[in-house]
Structures are given as structure tokens and as C-alpha cells.
Structure 1
């Protein structure tokens, strides 16, 4: 029993050390080989922050003491002169963003936390890499701000060119929602909310939609405005409103090691 626990502990340590090695390589844009990065990490007994500080601040003598008298020092000088790495040096971190991805071929959408400098994620169905959707192409649970002063949340889309109106004409621009408070204005979404920023998804009592395709359409009374199209998932025949562009790797950087955290992708209310 004790041996099993010890083995599990060792596996955890090895996994953490591997992640630190890949993290150091990612921070320095793959300029360190895996062996060199591992040597630096091991030199500081697995302390990642000390290894990062070493990469940015160590003297030539210290570098050669750890990596040997080969190309280690010239490598570090080159890395430090790289403009992107200089920017990272100011922050000592790799920033991440929660971004939306989609695959038109597989009709799937997902959210993923990815490095800001490499916003790419792989479709789980076809395994093709996709670029993050631009903010003005996202859709999902959204924030709305009506001119009457009401702020509310509902499904919205920043680009509805894939959809058609009741007359069959292709639509454009953002989706619209009837304000739940005043019932007088059609409001466009202000932003699409990533899963971890979403408030509890519930609609006020009496909320209704006048769109021709709404799965629970409300017949409007004059002079209530008519919503051009409903983008609630239950009202749409497709999941993907905007297909993300495919990513072609240039091989210029090490594959992203960061955990691209899966986020809640459930689009049902």
C-alpha cells in the first residue's frame, strides 16, 4: 500500500517536472532544447520561477556552469534579444485568453483557454487545428444593454450572415433581442460571454421572442417590434454560425504545452 502511494507520488512529480520543462521551452519560444530546459529545471530542483529568472538574468559564467561551454551562452543572448521574449520578460508570464472555436465541417463549437500568442485549438472530431474566432464573429450567451437602461443576458450572435430572414433574404450584422423590460426596443449584443464569465443562465418571467423561427414564438401585438431571427440553439438548424479558419503550422515554435482547459460548451439553456 505504501509502495503504491509512493509510486503515485513519483508519477505526480515527474508529470509536474515535464510540464515545467515544456513551460520553459514555451516561454523562450522553443529556443532551448528539451535537454537544455530539463538541465536548467533540474539545476533549480524543479523550481520553475528560479529557472525563468536564470534564463533572463544569469551571467555568462553561470550559464556555462549549468549548460556547459558550448553554445549555451550564445543561445541565451539570442533569446534575450528576441523582441517577443523581451516583452515576456516584463511580465514573467505567458498570458492566456478564453476563446471560441468552431469547425464548420463537423458542425461543432467549443471554448478553450489558449496562449494569447498562439490561439489555436484542435477539433476533437476531425482533429484539424482551428484558429480562434475573432470577437466580432462569436455567438452564444451574450450581454445586452438597452437604451431604456436595462442590462440583461440572452443568446446572441455578433455575425448572422449564415442565417436568413422570414422572407428568405440573407441577414447581416448582429442578432437582435427584444428588451425584456420595456418591450419596445430591439437590442444588439454588447459582447459574448465565455463560460467562466457567464452569470446564471435564466430568463426573466414573461420574456418572449417575436422571431419567425423561435422555438417558442410569441405572436407580437402592434406596435411591438419583430425580431429578425432567433439565435437560441433550439431555434437553429445548425450549431456553427461562423466557421473558424484552419491553422497551418509553420513549425517555428514548439507545440503549445499549456493545458488548453476545456470549458463548458453546453449551449442549451
Structure 2
């Protein structure tokens, strides 16, 4: 299903998007050396509930997962990149962390992810991974607008990631979003321009470039959810929800600084 939102729904999506971004930034500030991933999950739960919103993850049970996800935020560390299930692990200096959060409020969902390095040690490879996904995300957003095609966004994202020297997995990528978290169209992180669905005002997309340092192959954890690089290399993932407008694309998941 491809859902086109009304102006009133897009207004509600702005509120949801800001909430997602603010929660992520709050969790990022609390993610210091020694922080337990389970504590991050508990804080996410409380922040979502305090805002009168609902988690998109707790009861999420797609075909590729093993039962309901059962947690409130995805926490991927180092070689984990997608669907990182919170576990009893305390963050160490130099860990590369990805937090991925999707929330539903007033009938509209928003989805965002950030990657960052914990502590004072900043391995150059980790810095490069994060920066590449951020540049690719910016390129994908810049390519979006009414009349553009999905392939234009995929091509813009993939061009940046390939130029940085990273292999690209196209099995998981961006997606439509609206009254539910995951909708059509799929937005691969590489593609051919001029192909695919033509974007229209009112369409919401979650764009999410992610890479692994030296492979495009994934390995599934025993938890049935966490996807890691097949080689054990480090990974990064950046994501924004955007709304296609009459003039271009609006980023909905920018923080406001209202949460602490």
C-alpha cells in the first residue's frame, strides 16, 4: 500500500517526527560509557508513554523477525546494523552505536535512526562510516520532491555510499510510512535514476542509508532479530522521515530540544 496523507495528517506527522527526534537525542545524551542497552530501552518506553504515543516496535512481528520484537528502540552496537534487540550489555569507550526508533502518535508514524560513537575514543573507520551514511541521507533527501522517482533517491544514496568505498546491501532500505510504520514503496540504497514510483505531495518516506565496512552480507543473531555484518566489521545507519511537499521534501525528524 502507498498512502498519500492529507495536509492535516502531515501536520500530525510533524509532531510525531519531532517527538521521535527528541527521544533519540535524549537517549544519545544518556548513552555514555557504562550505560546498559536495557536501560536505554526502558528510557525509550517511558519517554514514549509520557508523550501519549505508542511504540511501533513492541508488538512488531514481520515475516523476517522471530515473534514480536518486544522492545521500544533498536540498539545496534559495532557489527550490528539493523533491528538490534536491546540486551544486557554495557557500552564501552569507542563503541559505535545505532539507535533506531519508530513511534505512532495521533494516528501517524515517524521513523528515524542515528549512529554515533560512545566515549572519547573515536576510531577513524567508525567516524568515516557514520559520516558516509549522513552524507548519503542528505543526498537522498536532496533528490526527493514532487515528480521525482524512487530510483532517483536510490541512485543519489548509492552514489555517495559507493564513492566512499562501501558495498551496498539492497535487501533492507527505506520505505513508505504513514498510518503504519512500514509501507510501500521500498527505497533501496542503490538504484537507477528515472525508475520506480513517481513521488507526490503528501507521501511520507523513511530514507535510511546503512553500510557495513567491508561486506554487503548480513548474519542473523540467535535472538532472531539482530542483523550483523557477516565479517564482524563495523556498521552505521542514518535515517530521517521526510514529507514530499509541493516545493520539495521536508525533514520531519529534526530535534527541537524540548526533551532532556
Q: What is the TM-score normalised by the length of structure 1? A: 0.21
Q: Which of the two has higher C-alpha Rg?
A: 1
More strand by share: 2
